[in-house]
Chains A and B, each alone.
Chain A
Amino acid sequence: MRGWLYLLGAAIAGAVVTTPALLVFVLGGGSVDDALFVALGTLMLVSALLVVTMRDIIQCGLAMIVAFLALAGIYVVVGAPLVAAAQVIVYIGAISVLILFAIMLTQSKAGPARLVFQTQAAPAAVAAVILAVLITLGVSATDWGETAERARLATDTLALILFQDYVLPFEVVSVLLLAAVIGGVFIAKREEDPG
C-alpha cells in the first residue's frame, strides 16, 4: 500500500520537474541544455524548500541529498565535471551520511517536535525573500564581462593546475581536514568514567 504512495509521489515530482523543462524546450525554442538546466534547477529548488520546511528531519536529510544530486547535474551542465563528481562523492557520500548519523544520535524518543518553526520564522521568511530579491537585482544590474558561451574545462588541465599552482592550498586543506576529524572525534567522544 505504501509503495503506491511513493510511486505516486515520485510521479508527481517527475511531472513537476519535467513540465517546465518541456515548456522551455518546446515552446521557448531552447536547446537540450536549457531544458536540462530548467529541470535540474527546479528540482534543486523544490527539494531545497522541502529541506527547510518538512517536519520529519530524516525526510529533510533525504531531500537534501536530492538537492545535492540536482546540483551535481547543474555542475555538469555548466561545464565543470570534476566538481560535479566531487560534489557527489563529498557531499552526498560523506556529509549527508554524517548528517544522517548525527540525526540518528540526537533523536529524542518523543518524535519530531511540536513546532517546526521558531517564533521568528515570519521575519526570517521576509528577510530571505528580500535577500533573494536584492541578489537578483544586483546580479542582473552588473556587467560581469562574461563570454557568451560556457567554457568546459578539461580534467587533465585542471589536475595539472591543481597539483602545480595550487599545491599549497591543497596540502593545507588536507591538514585542515585532519584537524577537523581529530577535533570532531574528540568533541563527540563520550566522557569516560575514571577507573
Chain B
Amino acid sequence: MNMDTLIPLIAALPMGGFLFTAVVGRRLGKRAHIVPVLAVGLSWVIAMVVVYTALTGGFGEGGQTVKLWDWIPAGAFQVEAAFFVDNLTAALLIVVTTVGLLVHIYSIGYMSHDPGYWRFFAYLNLFMFSMLLLVLGDSWLTVFVAWELVGLCSYLLIGFWYRKNSAALASKKAFIVNRVGDVGFALGIMAIWVNTGTLNIRESIDVLTSHTLVAFPIPVGLIALLIFAGAMGKSAQFPLHVWLPDAMEGPTPVSALIHAATMVNAGVYLVARANPIFASAPEAMVVVAGIGIFTALLAASIALTQTDIKRVLAYSTLSQLGYMFAALGVGAWTAAIFHLMAQGFTKGLLFLASGSVIHAVHDEQDMRKMGGLAKKIPHTYRTMLIGSIGMAGIPPLAGFFSKDEILGETFKAGFYWVWAIGVIVAIMTAFYMFRLIGLTFWGESRVDKAVEPKIHESPRVMTLPLWLLAIPSLLLGLFLAWPGPPLGPLFGQHGPGLLAGWLEPVYAHGLEILGHHEAEFAIFGIDGVLILISIAVATAGVLAAWRLFGVEIGGLRRRGQPERVQALSARVPFLYRASLNKWWFDELNHLVFIVIGGRVAAFLWWFDANVVDGIVNGIGAVTRLSGGGLARIQTGHVQNYALGIAIGLIVMVASYALMVSS
C-alpha cells in the first residue's frame, strides 16, 4: 500500500459509498448508514496516514502528485486526472475528513426518524467525495468540476425536505447564487489557460508569477479577481452572501458539514492555493480584504438581532469567513488557514449542538421559545458553551489563537482600518454568541408548555461527536500555534508555530513576491499589546451580553434583562430594523433581478416575438405576396403572352438602336 493507491482511495471510498447507497439504500431501511459511515471512516483513517506523511515531510517540498490518467489529451489542451497532496491539502484534509466523519455519526441519531434516511447518507457521501476531490485536485479543471459537484450536493442537501416550499426555494437560491460566482471562476480558469497554456495548478502558477517583464494577454490581477469571484460565490461573501442564511432550511448536520466546516471553506482554500497569483496583484488583495472585512461586519451586525438559533450561527459563519478573506487579503495566509481549521471544528460543534437543542425542544428553532435548558440537556449545553467561548475569542481556546493571529497580522501589515473593523466585529461576535447562550440555556424557561415535559438529552450517538469536536475546539489552537518546545521539535519545526511551519513551503512563493518577512513573535512587543487588546475586546463583548441576557456559569449568577434589551433596541430603531431585515439585501435583489430584470426580459420577449419574428415572417410574407403578384402574369391567355413578346422585341430593338446610334 503506497501513497499512489492510498491518496485516490481517500476520495474513492465515499464515491463507492454513494453509489452503493444510491442503488440499494432504499431497501436497507434503518441500516442504510452502515456502508456510508464505514466508507467515510476508512477514508478518515487513510487521510490521517497521508496527512501524517505529508506533515512530517514525507512528500518533500513539492508535495506528492498521483496521476490517474490523461483526462483530456487534445493537442494543445492537455489536462490530467490527478491528485496532488501538499501541506495545505493536508491541513484541509484534517478538517474535512474529521468533521465529515463526526457529522456522519451524528446523523445516525439526528435523521433516524426521517423516511429519507438512505437518501441523506447517499448525498452526504457524494458530498464528501466532491469536497475531497476539490482539495485533492491537481488541475484547475478538476477543482472546477469538484466545485460544481459540491454546489450540486449543497442543492440536494439544502432541499432535502423537498416537499417543504421554503426548502426548495432556498436550495434553488443557493445554487443560482453559487453559479454567479462560478461564472467568474470559469472565466478565471479560461484566462489562466490563455495566459499559460496549462491547467495544472502548480505549473500555471509558476508561469503566471514568473514572467514579470513580459505582459500577459490577460492581466494577472484580473485573473485573481475572477478566482476571487468564484470564492465569493462559494464562501458567501458580499454581495453573494444571500444564500447562506436561507441554506439553514436544510437539516442541521448539513448545515454543520457544508455550511460551516467544509464547502464554504472551499473559497478560502482556493485563494490560499492561488496565493502567488494574488501576491502578484496587490490591488486584487486589497479588494479581497475589503470585501472580506465588510462581509464580516455586515454579517455580525445582522446576527445581533436574529431569533432563529441556526440563523445566528449562519451569520456567524459568514462573519468568520469574512475574517478569513480579510486575512488572505492582507497576506496573512497562515492565519487564514489557521482560522479555517479552528472555525471548521468550532462551528461544526456549534451547529451540531444546536441541532441537538432543536431535537430536544421538538423542532423548535426560535430562541424566544427556549430558555433554561442548561440543566435539562447538560452535554449539549456544555459543549455548546465551549464552542461559544471559542468563538468569542477567549484564550486558550482555538478561536482566540486564530482570531488574534488574524488581527495581529492585519495590524502589522499596515491595514489599520481592517484591524479596527476586525476589532469591532470581535466585540459583536462575543456579544451575540453569549446572547445565544443566554437566550437558549439560561434564565427562565419560555418553552412551550406542551413540549416542556418532553425535553430530553440527545442519544449517545449524537452527543459523542459533540464531545469529540469539543476537543479540537479546546486544544487545536494551542497545538498549532505554540511556538516552541515541546511540540515544535517533535515535528521538526522551529519558529512561529506548528501550522506556520507546515504551511511555509506552500506560501513561500507568495510571501516572496509580497516581500513580507515573518517577524519574530515578540510577546513583549507589538504582539503582546495586540493580544491584550483582543482579550479585552472579547471580554467586553461577553460582559455586555451577560449584562443583558444573564449568566449562570458556576457561581456567577445574573438575571437577563429583556426590558433593557427592548429599551436599547428602541433607541436605535433604524439600525435594529435594518439588522433584523438583513439590511434588505434580499428585497434589493428581488427588485433588481426579478422586477426590473423581469421587465427587461418581458421587453426582450416582446421584441423577439414582434420584431425578430416580424422580420422573419415579413420576409416570408413578402416572398409570398410578390410570388402571388407575379403569378398574375400567368393569365392563361395567349394574346397576353404575345403582347409580352412584342414588348420584349421592341425593347430589344430599341436598345440596340440606341446603342448603335450613340
Contact = CB atoms under 8 A, between A and B. Distances in A.
Direct contact of A and B (CB under 8 A): yes
Interface of A: 118, 120, 123-124, 127, 130-131, 134, 137-138
B640 A137 contact: no
Contacts of A118: 639
Main secondary structure on B side of the interface with A? helix
Contacts of A137: 657
A130 to B, nearest CB: 5
Contacts of B657: 134, 137-138
Given A127-B650, A134-B650, A138-B657, 18 more contacts: A118-B639, A120-B639, A120-B640, A120-B643, A123-B643, A123-B647, A124-B646, A127-B643, A127-B646, A127-B647, A130-B650, A130-B654, A131-B646, A131-B650, A134-B653, A134-B654, A134-B657, A137-B657
Contacts of A130: 650, 654
Interface of B: 639-640, 643, 646-647, 649-650, 653-654, 657
B258 to A, nearest CB: 86
A134 B647 CA distance: 12
Contacts of B647: 123, 127
A123 B645 CA distance: 13
If over half of A's interface residues share one DSSP class (helix, strand or loop), that class is named, otherwise mixed; here it is: helix
A28 B643 CA distance: 40
Contacts of B653: 134, 138
A124 B650 contact: no
Contacts of A123: 643, 647
A10 B640 CA distance: 37
A13 B353 CA distance: 131
8 contacts: A118-B639, A123-B643, A127-B643, A127-B646, A127-B647, A130-B654, A131-B649, A138-B653
The 4 closest A-B CB pairs, nearest first, are A127-B646, A134-B653, A130-B650, A120-B643
A138 B660 CA distance: 11
A147 to B, nearest CB: 26
A118 B640 CA distance: 10
Contacts of A120: 639-640, 643
A118 B642 CA distance: 13
B639 to A, nearest CB: 6
Nearest to A128: B646
A123 B650 CA distance: 13
A134 B651 CA distance: 10
A127 B644 CA distance: 10
Contacts of B650: 127, 130-131, 134
A92 B646 CA distance: 28
A123 B646 CA distance: 10
A131 B649 CA distance: 9
Contacts of A138: 653, 657
Nearest to A118: B639
A35 to B, nearest CB: 33
Nearest to B650: A130
A137 B658 CA distance: 12
B643 A124 contact: yes
Contacts of B643: 120, 123-124, 127
A138 B650 CA distance: 12
Contacts of A134: 650, 653-654, 657
A134 to B, nearest CB: 5
A133 to B, nearest CB: 10
A143 to B, nearest CB: 13
A150 to B, nearest CB: 28
A143 B463 CA distance: 124
A131 B643 CA distance: 12
Contacts of A131: 646, 649-650
A113 to B, nearest CB: 15
A127 B642 CA distance: 11
B634 to A, nearest CB: 15
A123 B639 CA distance: 12
A137 B505 CA distance: 104
Contacts of A127: 643, 646-647, 650
Nearest to A135: B653
Contacts of B646: 124, 127, 131
